[in-house]
Amino acid sequence: MLILASFVNRVGNGLFNTAAALYFTLVVDLPAVQVGAALTVAGLIGLLAGIPGGHLADRRGPRTIMMLALAVQAVAMSALVLVDSWAALTVIATVDQLAAAAAGAAWGALVVRVGTDRPALFRAKLRTYVNLGVVLGTVGAGFAVTANTRTAYSVLILGNAASFALCALFLFLLPNYRALASPPQQRRWIALTDRPFVAFTALYGAMGLQYPVVSLLLPIWISSHTDAPRWTVAAVSAINAGVCVLLQTRIGSRIETPRDGGRAFRTAGLLFLLSCPMMALTAHTPVWAAAGLVVAAIFVHSLGEIWESSAGFALGFGLAPDHAQGQYQGLLGLGFSAGQALAPAILTTVVLGLGTAGWLLLGAFFAALGAVGPSIERWGTRTRSRQEAEVAGSSPAAGGGRLYPASGDDSR
């Protein structure tokens, strides 16, 4: 049910995200600068809801909070068809982003509770279907873009709104997982005081710059710095999506423990270290050689993306205590979103500004981040083991009782 719910939701996202900017600029007739400003304001304010939303999920149950957030998103998305000004767009988009941040944190907590038997395999399958959903949604959006009418764009927006409602309906069929008890005298915002996890959040957010490499940086580089055929710009996204859909489960299912995650993070950095110089070389090769090099580079980069996302799952969930998964996932989402917000400015300024040297610097940056992965894992594992020992030693249940409910102690 969770895989199906996530798939449906991402089909809707693919429908909307592909054509949103065109709708607001061409149909609503808002200047592109105003659209960008509205979405930026909404995104920045939305970051504030991740940790509180995750905390609510930990205390009230992840399914409940996620369903409420999805309901708010369904209403906000439907309201976008009525937008006729910058102010209206800003307000509605802000509500949507606040709900999205809370839903993301609750989703993370729900994934932990659902995928208890084979967590790595479950998360790999989940990401495979999520990627497939985005691809299908993007294909559907192409028809609306071709039609280029208000009706066509409105259908996309309402289709995305319906995906939120349908996703919530599917989640209703899941068990209503109860909150796990917190240790005595625990601080409310425990995630913010967990230094190893905060460090990993920063590391994960920085490594997240690899995603806009595919969606933003490489297409610009191909069109303005290489002699590669223009069809390679479209091929970049198709190859990236195809590799992730086909290989995510095969690779990700083997990365189960935090130790596996630390090593996978290092492997991802090395793969990016290989792919970035390949992308740089496309500017110095003939037409068809450049096309072949682009295909090879995006294949290697996509492998790195699979290893990086799998490492993020293993470390992000494995280093967080079970009773506070929502709060920890909210913090991780905050770091990732902050990295994505800064990525366009960093990538276009540094890499496009420096050219080939910028690509080499970017590859070295990713490799350096990846090299820190095993150290972060050891630090986090050591710190958490010490905290668990202290809790067990101070608990009345230390003599053989159980302080927290087991993962299976759930009711509908």
Q: Is 162 exposed, middle or buried (0-12, 13-18, 19+ CB in 10 A)?
A: middle
| pLDDT computed for residue 390 by the predictor | 55
Length of the chain: 412
| pLDDT computed for residue 75 by the predictor | 95
Residues of the chain with pLDDT under 50: 394-412
State pLDDT tens for residues 336-387: 888 888 888 888 888 888 999 999 999 999 999 999 999 999 998 888 766 6
Domains by residue range for the chain, with CATH? 2-171 (1.20.1250.20), 190-394 (1.20.1250.20)
State pLDDT tens for residues 116-155: 767 778 888 888 888 888 888 877 777 777 777 888 888 8
Q: Read off φ and ψ for residue 83, nearest 5 degrees.
A: -65, 135
- Check if the beta carbon of residue 66 is closer than 8 Å to that of residue 176: no
Sign of CA dihedral 323, 113, 206, 138: negative
CB atoms under 10 Å from CB of 357, counted, come to 12
The span from the CA of 161 to the CA of 76, in Å, is: 8
| pLDDT computed for residue 43 by the predictor | 83
Sign of CA dihedral 376, 382, 387, 388: positive
- Check if the beta carbon of residue 171 is closer than 8 Å to that of residue 5: yes
Percent of the chain with pLDDT over 90: 31
| pLDDT computed for residue 76 by the predictor | 93
The span from the CA of 276 to the CA of 360, in Å, is: 6
CB atoms under 10 Å from CB of 234, counted, come to 10
Residue 165 neighbours by CB under 8 Å, 6+ apart: 70, 71, 74
The span from the CA of 411 to the CA of 29, in Å, is: 50
Residue 311 neighbours by CB under 8 Å, 6+ apart: 255, 260, 261, 262, 263, 264, 265, 267, 268, 373
375: which 2 tokens? 């150290």
Q: Using DSSP, state whether 226 is helix, strand or coil.
A: coil
| pLDDT computed for residue 205 by the predictor | 93
- Check if the beta carbon of residue 101 is closer than 8 Å to that of residue 53: yes
| pLDDT computed for residue 301 by the predictor | 96
The pTM of the full predicted model, rounded to 2 decimals, is: 0.80
- Check if the beta carbon of residue 119 is closer than 8 Å to that of residue 316: no
The span from the CA of 98 to the CA of 183, in Å, is: 29
